[in-house]
Every structure is written in C-alpha cells, then in structure tokens.
Amino acid sequence: MLTKKQLDLLEFIHKRVERDGVPPSFDEMKDALDLRSKSGIHRLITALEERGFLRRLPHRARALEIVKLPDSLAAKSGGFTPRVIEGDKGSEPAVPSRPAMAQPIDALHAQELPLMGRIAAGVPIEAISEVSTHVAVPGQMIGQGNHYALEVKGDSMIEAGINDGDVVVIRETATADNGDIVVALVEDHEATLKRFFRKGNAIALEAANLAYETRVLPEDKVKVQGRLVGLIRTY
C-alpha cells in the first residue's frame, strides 16, 4: 500500500516520462508535491524502490526505471511498459540519448569546434575566453548558430548526467528558458555550468547535486553565454 505522497510522486514521474521521455528534476518533483526540500523526494524515491515500483540503476547519475505501477495508475494510462528514465531536462535533453549502436565519428559528419578550456561544474572559475584546442563533434549534435566546446571541471551537475572531465557542446546564445543548462557568466568574471531559472528580477543558478546550494543573483549580475546541446564522454 502506497501513501498518498508516494502515489502522487510515482504518478507525476510517470506522466512526465510518458510526455517528454525524460523525468522531471528534483526541484520540479518537490514543487509538484509541495515539499520543502529535495531530501523529501529522496526519501519517497527510496520508499518506492523498497516497494518494488522504482529501481535505481547503478553507476548512472539519478537514473531510474519504473518497474510497475499500482492498478489505479496502470488503468489510467491504459497499460504500462517499463522504461528507463535518465538524466535531467530543461527545454531540451541535457544529454543526448545514446544511439542503439556506436558509430565512428567520421560516419557522423564530424565538425571541429573550438575547445575553450574548462567550465566549472562546482565552484565558479575565471571566465573562459581563449581557444585551447579543437575537438571533433558529430554533426548531428550541432544545429544552427555558433557552437563551442568546454571541458567540465567539478561534480555539481552529476545528477544531470554531466561528470567531471566530460566535454559539453554549447550553442552560443544570450537568452535561456527556465530549466535550460547554461554557461553563465557571473559578475563578468566567473563562468559556471548550471541550470537556469528566472525568479522575478533575479536569476537562480541551480546545481544538479544536493551538495551544492542554488545561487540566486540579481539579473544584471548574470549573463548567459550559451546553452547545452550535447555532451562527449571518453571512457
């Protein structure tokens, strides 16, 4: 027997996965259930896992599999097929989904992008302005506009599937929607990779790691330098 909060969370996750293919963020879950902190979401997810409704996948940041639904939810959805939900989401997937089979880079019409150095996924570091080298990126990862690449330093975005040492592909833009993962320039001298939220006349830069506090700054102190469109990982 599930509690009302456990049932509400499971239904919320299921609906978002069915609609978007990716789960809501922990903050979205917290807001949807009207909880005060994300620790409450962690406890609910643990309880659902213990009761066999969710399964956490090892070695993957906040990756969950919906194993089953209660009869009441399954009836609403007209049946249920388990599927994996992985990563986090803004207006676009933070990390592109893996292809069924790996393809060589040259088969994907690789393009060379400037690798601008390192971006902090943790404590902000000095703004990046110089090209350190170039990196080959699959053409399908790049749309219109100018793009560049950055090496991630730190662990503040691990629950969005972004690890220390990953290379992120960024499309240059000065604007962002709530939930986008962006390169943010703070007070013209710190660069950081965080999730963007506008709150009135302020900007919240949110980590995807409970060990880091959300930074809320006046909007004139934050400049968006680009938005995440892809990720490259070397094993």
CATH number at residue 36: 1.10.10.10
Question: CA nearest 10: which of 78, 56, 73?
Answer: 73
Residues 77 and 115 in one domain: no
91 located within any domain? no
User: Is the pLDDT confidence value at 86 over 70?
Assistant: no
Per the listing, tokens 């880091």 go with: 212
Query: Does the predicted TM-score (pTM) go above 0.85?
Result: no
Residues 148 and 224 in one domain: yes
Which CATH number do you get for residue 129?
A: 2.10.109.10
93 located within any domain? no
Distance of CA 202 to CAs 75, 208, 215, 220, Å?
43, 19, 10, 8
| Mean of the per-residue pLDDT values of the chain | 75
pLDDT in tens, 26-85: 788 888 888 888 888 888 888 888 888 887 765 455 566 778 887 766 556 554 444 443
Whether 91 is catalytic is: no
Asked if 130 contacts 158 with a C-beta cutoff of 8 angstroms, the reply is no
Catalytic residue among 30, 89, 153, 156: 156
Residues 6+ apart with CB under 8 A from 40: 30, 33
Number of domains in the chain: 2
Whether 132 is catalytic is: no
Q: Give SS3 for 42.
A: helix
Write out the residue range of the structural domain in which residue 64 sits: 4-85
Catalytic residue among 97, 194, 199, 221: 194
Tell me how long the chain is.
Answer: 235
Residues 171 and 207 in one domain: yes
Question: CA nearest 222: which of 199, 205, 200, 206?
Answer: 205
Residue type, 156: S
Residues 77 and 185 in one domain: no
Question: CA nearest 119: which of 190, 36, 57, 63?
Answer: 190
Average pLDDT of span 200-221: 92
Q: What is the dihedral of CA 142, 204, 154, 32, to 10 degrees?
A: -90
Residues 117 and 80 in one domain: no
103 located within any domain? no
User: What is the CB neighbour count within 10 angstroms for residue 95?
Assistant: 22
Task: Say what percent of the chain tops pLDDT 90.
Answer: 15
